[in-house]
Amino acid sequence: MNNNTKRQASKAGSWYEGDSKTLTESIKSFLDKASKFETSSLIKGLIVPHAGYFYSGPTAAYSYININPNKYKRVFVLGPSHHSGFEGCGLTKCSTIETPIGDIKVDREIVDKLKSLKGFEEIDKETDEDEHSLEMQFPFLKYMFGINNFTLIPIMVGFTNEVSEQYFGKILSEYYKQDENLFIISSDFCHWGSRFRYTYYNKEDGEIHESIEKLDKTGMGIIESLDHKNFNQYLLQTKNTICGRKPISIYLSTINNSGLKSKIKFVKYNQSSNVKRMDDSSVSYGAGINYIDV
């Protein structure tokens, strides 16, 4: 099979700017308004939203501004599959990722190594290019790394359960333990409204948007506690429509399996709109930083 194929930037011109200059200016403007998370520790991973840049770009910048490109050789990106149903983790067939501001090389050596393991499957190019959760991270990464060379390991996460999440976490923990590897976990938080078939509202928490915020921040607190099992319990109980819940669960398992002292801190939270009526809708965005606790 020929892996010398390029994953096209299929969302360029719609979900984000398709023109190199305009996109560069857009990302720069998001980063200019974001503040860094103050830590001298090595940052191991970021939790980042993946909506259109107009909506989630300002929040994503609070994660991405913390990347020091000199510290990393590889970036693992885990994102959910929104359109294609499959078990386990999907891997790209491509060797290059296109962005309007320059291409990124896929780490074919690691992708092929993962492909040989149970639960990892190649996905076809159409499914790959149809999915936005991974692609929305690529231009930000290319911008942050600039001329610094790095390789990419994109992983599309399908159906998993607590047992398989532990399995994938154990495999990825070996890469997590290597200082030169950075992890990007692509997830939006609550998708609220009848169009998302989710209208949870606790009036005791105030307006609907305040109820959504409390729901999300409860989940974020559990993620910060690194409690994989408790996070799955929270999802079971609240049914919160966190689209990247599977990548987050695998990442919590990865951290726990690594044996490293690690912390996650959410530094920014936003909603696409402040819902006040039951016929409104919104999507929530959070920026999380995972760093080594020294």
**Domain assignment present for 130:** yes
- The CA distances from residue 71 to 14, 44, 173, in Å, are 32, 10, 18
Q: If you compute the radius of gyration of the chain from its CA atoms, what whole number of angstroms results?
A: 18
Whether 273 shows a pLDDT value over 70: the answer reads: yes
Whether 1 shows a pLDDT value over 70: the answer reads: no
Q: Which has the closest alpha carbon to 149: 98, 109, 107?
A: 107
**Domain assignment present for 186:** yes
Q: Which has the closest alpha carbon to 188: 56, 33, 32?
A: 56
Q: Average pLDDT over the chain, rounded to whole? A: 96
Average pLDDT over every residue of 229-250? 98
pLDDT of residue 4: 61
Domain that includes residue 287, residue range: 6-292
**Domain assignment present for 1:** no
Distance, CA of 228 to CA of 254 (rounded, Å): 10
**Domain assignment present for 32:** yes
**Domain assignment present for 39:** yes
**Domain assignment present for 53:** yes
Whether 21 shows a pLDDT value over 70: the answer reads: yes
pLDDT category, 228, cuts 50, 70, 90?
Answer: very high
pTM passes above 0.85? yes
Whether 38 shows a pLDDT value over 60: the answer reads: yes
pLDDT of residue 84: 84
- The CA distances from residue 7 to 80, 121, 228, in Å, are 17, 17, 32
Helix (H) or strand (E) holding 184: strand 181-186
pLDDT of residue 85: 82
pLDDT of residue 75: 98
CB 171 within 8 A of CB 253: no
Whether 131 shows a pLDDT value over 90: the answer reads: no
Cα–Cα–Cα angle for 153, 154, 158, rounded to 5 degrees: 135
Q: Which residues contact 243 (CB under 8 A, 6 or more apart)?
A: 80, 82, 133, 187, 188, 191
What is the per-residue pLDDT across 46-84, written as a single tens digit (0 to 9) for each? 999 999 999 999 999 999 999 999 999 999 999 999 988
* Number of domains, the chain: 1
CB 159 within 8 A of CB 88: yes
pLDDT of residue 293: 85
Query: What CATH number is given to the structural domain containing 90?
Result: 3.40.830.10
Structure tokens, 175 = 């890469």
Distance, CA of 162 to CA of 144 (rounded, Å): 33
Helices (H), the chain: 20-32, 53-64, 108-115, 125-130, 132-135, 138-145, 162-176, 208-224, 228-238, 245-258
**Domain assignment present for 136:** yes
